[in-house]
Amino acid sequence: MNYIKLLNAAFEKFYFDDRLNPTHISLYMALFQEWNSSRFADEFYVNRRDLMRAAKIGSKSTYHRCVTDLDSWLYLCYFPSNNPYKGSKIKMSIIGTSSEPDMGRYNPTLEQLAEQYYPIREPVVGQHHPINGQVLVSNTNNTKQENYIKQPKGRQVVIDFFEENGFDADEGKKFFEHYETRNWQTSDGQAIRDWRAVATNWMDRTELFDEKNESNKKQASQIKDNLRTTKNKDYGQPL
C-alpha cells in the first residue's frame, strides 16, 4: 500500500462528492490513521471513544450517522459490535483502483498537504518480515496487548483513565471499589482480561443512565407545572 497515493485518491474523491460534510471527512481521516497504524490491514478493530476524540466528534449519534453514511457510500465497510472487549470492525475501501481510473493520479499540492498533516511513519525497529508467506506479529503490538491484559495498578490509574474520558474522580472510585471487592472478576466468575474495556462499558452505561434520568426529571417537572394552580382566583372572569 502506498500511503500518499491512497490519501491523494481520497482527497480527490472528497472534492467531487457533494454528499460529504466536514464531519464525514474528519471521521474518515481518523479511520485512515487507524488503518495506517495497522499496516493497512484488510480488516481492523476500532474504539468509538478514541475515534470520536481524534475526529473531534462530540455526539454519539453524529458518529454513528457518519460512519453509517461512509459505509453506504462505499468508503468503507462497517461491522458494529456490542462486545465491550472487542470494538467494531472496519474494512476500508481502496480508492483509486482500476475500477476508478481517474482516482489517485499524482497531484503535487495534495501530496504536500498529506505530508504536512499526516507524515509517513518510519518502519518499526526490529520488525519481523514474513517467512515463507507466514505473517508475523511485531513485538511492539504483543507488548501493547500484554499491557492491556492486566488489572489496574492502583486506584489512581483508574481515576486518571475516567478523568481523561470526561468523568469525575468519584465515578472512577466507584468503578475501582466495585471490581476490587469482586477480585476483578465478571458476574459469571471469569477473570477480567482488559479492565479498560470494562471501564469504557461502565462509562457508556453511566451516560445512558444519566440521559434517561434527566429525561424523567424533565417529564416530572412538566407534569408539575401543568398541575400548578393559584389560590388568588378572579371568579368574575368569564370561563
Q: Which domains does the chain have, with CATH numbers?
A: 3-117 (1.10.10.10), 147-226 (no CATH)
Q: Is 35 a residue whose pLDDT tops 80?
A: yes
Give the Cα separation of 184 and 189 in Å (integer): 9
Per-residue model confidence (pLDDT) at position 11: 92
Q: Is 209 a residue whose pLDDT tops 90?
A: no
What average pLDDT does the segment 157-178 reach? 88
Q: Is 186 a residue whose pLDDT tops 70?
A: yes
* pLDDT digits 0-9 by tens, 10-19: 999 999 999 9
pTM: 0.45
Per-residue model confidence (pLDDT) at position 105: 42
Per-residue model confidence (pLDDT) at position 234: 63
Selected residue with higher pLDDT from 14 and 137: 14
Give the Cα separation of 92 and 78 in Å (integer): 9
* pLDDT digits 0-9 by tens, 45-77: 999 999 999 999 999 999 999 999 999 999 999
What is the SS3 assignment for the chain? CCHHHHHHHHHHHHHHCCCCCHHHHHHHHHHHHHHHHCCCCCCEEECHHHHHHHHCCCCHHHHHHHHHHHHHCCCEEEECCCCCCCCEEEEECCCCCCCCCCCCCCCHHHHHHHHHHCCCCCCCCCCCCCECCECCCCHHHHHHHHHHCCCCCCHHHHHHHHHHCCCCHHHHHHHHHHHHCCCCECCCCCECCCHHHHHHHHHHHHHHHHHHHHHHHHHHHHHHHHHCCCCCCCCCCCC
Per-residue model confidence (pLDDT) at position 100: 43
* pLDDT digits 0-9 by tens, 107-136: 454 445 444 444 444 444 444 444 444 444
Report the amino acid identity of residue 14: F
Q: Is 39 a residue whose pLDDT tops 50?
A: yes
Per-residue model confidence (pLDDT) at position 143: 45
Q: Is 102 a residue whose pLDDT tops 70?
A: no
Per-residue model confidence (pLDDT) at position 168: 85
- Calculate what percentage of the chain has a pLDDT beyond 70: 63
